[in-house]
Amino acid sequence: MPEIPKERCVLIRSGFGVAIAAMGLLAMGHTSPVFAQAGVCTGNGKISKQIAKPMAAAQDAQKAKKWQEVLAKTREAEATPAAKTAWDQHWMHEFRGYAYAQLGQYPEATREYEAGLASPCMSESARVGRYKTLVTMFYAMRNYPKVIDYANRALKSGPDAELKVTLGQSYYLTNDNKNSLRFILMVMAPMKQKVQQ
């Protein structure tokens, strides 16, 4: 089976609302705590031969937008008695997360995507993308404490006006007016400078 291509997540934000328009695979995944602690991404970036067939079928089902089939084939791969590498587990979580997101099953999708944060197969740049994906999904689910957590993590990588707006709104919706005002003022400061110039 060829190496599974890495794509990126596309998020669409509209005004103060947040919608998930299209989500591609992120180069992130999940592995056992032992692998995560060791920081070793086992599998050499390739799916194991023992699960190559169901994973290839899951990939084909994804291309055909057959989300239930993606889930079924991923379950089949997971049920294979052979040991799974960190890379195998990584992609099983990614396929499931993506399929659940497309089905609008955000609690299941966020469970899979959060699992990916423990993976040694995930780069730091991909980790920031994962935070932003989770911000969008948890906002859609109105889980504002999770939005606040992941938005703050994402902002550590650099400024992002949209994230600051989302964060300000989430603080407001959790009755944290002090932090809400702080982030709204951060967003408005550059606008105020432009007007004064």
**Low-confidence residues in the chain, pLDDT < 50:** 1-37
Residue 156 exposure: Cα atoms within 13 Å on the Cβ side: 10
| Residues 11, 13, 18, 19, Cα dihedral to 10° | -50
78 shares a domain with 146:
no
pLDDT for 162: 92
What are the Cα distances from residue 99, in Å, to 19, 62, 178? 16, 8, 38
Could you tell me if residue 127 is inside a domain?
A: no
For the stretch 114-134, pLDDT in tens is: 998 888 998 888 899 999 999
Could you tell me if residue 191 is inside a domain?
A: yes
For the stretch 124-170, pLDDT in tens is: 888 999 999 999 999 999 999 999 999 999 999 988 989 999 999 99
Distance in angstroms (rounded) separating the CA atoms of residues 179 and 185: 10
Could you tell me if residue 45 is inside a domain?
A: yes
30 Cα distance to chain centroid: 12
β-strands 9-14, 17-23 pairing: antiparallel
Distance in angstroms (rounded) separating the CA atoms of residues 147 and 153: 10
CATH code where residue 179 lies: 1.25.40
112 shares a domain with 147:
no
Could you tell me if residue 59 is inside a domain?
A: yes
9 shares a domain with 93:
yes
Number of domains in the chain: 2
pLDDT for 150: 97
Which residue range forms the structural domain that includes residue 71?
1-122
Dihedral of CA 76/8/20/131: which sign?
positive
pLDDT for 195: 57
pLDDT for 116: 86
